[in-house]
Structure 1
Amino acid sequence: MSVADSIRRKLTEGLAPLHLEIIDDSHRHEGHAGHDGRGESHFRVTIVSTAFEGRSRVDRQRLVYGLLAEEMADRIHALALVTRTPDEQR
């Protein structure tokens, strides 16, 4: 399973998002620190979920990092997050 597929599965199962966009930016970091040649190391994720309601931006990010702890420890070098509630998405 690709890293992007794993991210999608874990965030879908853990947060039941109304919107989820995962962009692999690894190609833009070839030759830079954190790029080990395997690819799938740099991602931008936008997620809209009711699970974020009542949570601060930091708590939202911690929630996502917790769900992706395995990937963060191995393959993901950089993860840019946009976390919104449905009301914030409007």
Structure 2
Amino acid sequence: MSLEQQLIERLQQLSPSHLDVVNESAGHGGYFPGKESHFKAVIVSEAFAGLRLVQRHQKVYAAAGDLLGPGSIHALAIHAYLPEEWKGQDTSSPDCAHAPKP
């Protein structure tokens, strides 16, 4: 099972009303087809109620667990919202300075 699919399954434990996991590895240095190292997760969940931003991120890290680390997911951009905060915010990622040049 791909890292992306494993991450999606792990984040389901947060009971998201919206979940979007994007493999952004192709936009980073050292990319090769099939590489899974950089991801973005947009998560909308009531599980974040009463939590500050850093606490929301900690919940996501805890759910991802051992998928984060050497030889696995190198970077995870997290956008964590409560349903009332989610209004289709722009969650686009900036270009990586080490991205492969076309």
TM-score (norm 1): 0.87
Is the contact made by 1:20 and 1:47 (CA closer than 8 Å) also made in structure 2? yes
Q: Secondary structure at the match of 2:78?
A: strand
| Percent identity of equivalent pairs | 36
* 1:36-82 superposed Cα distances (whole Å, 9 cap, x missing partner): 98611000110000000100000000000011121102411010010
Computing the radius of gyration over CA atoms, which structure comes out larger, 1 or 2?
2
Determine which of 43, 49, 62 is the counterpart of 1:47.
Answer: 43
Give unpaired runs (5+ residues) of structure 2.
88-102
CA gap 1:36/1:66 in 2 versus in 1, 3 angstroms: farther
Residues in 2 aligned to 1:38 and 1:75: alpha-carbon distance in whole angstroms: 13
Determine which of 65, 68, 77 is the counterpart of 1:72.
Answer: 68
Residues in 1 aligned to 2:32 and 2:66: alpha-carbon distance in whole angstroms: 17
Determine which of 57, 60, 73 is the counterpart of 2:56.
Answer: 60
Equivalent AA in structure 1 for residue 11 of structure 2: L
The alignment of Structure 1 onto Structure 2 pairs a total of residues equal to 86
Deviation at 1:30, TM superposition (A): 3.4
Is the contact made by 1:60 and 1:83 (CA closer than 8 Å) also made in structure 2? yes
Q: Which residues in structure 2 correspond to 1:3-18 (within 5 Å)? A: 3-12=3-12, 14-18=13-17
Give unpaired runs (5+ residues) of structure 1.
none
Is the contact made by 2:26 and 2:32 (CA closer than 8 Å) also made in structure 1? no
CA RMSD, Structure 1 to Structure 2 (Å): 1.7
Residues in 2 aligned to 1:11 and 1:49: alpha-carbon distance in whole angstroms: 10
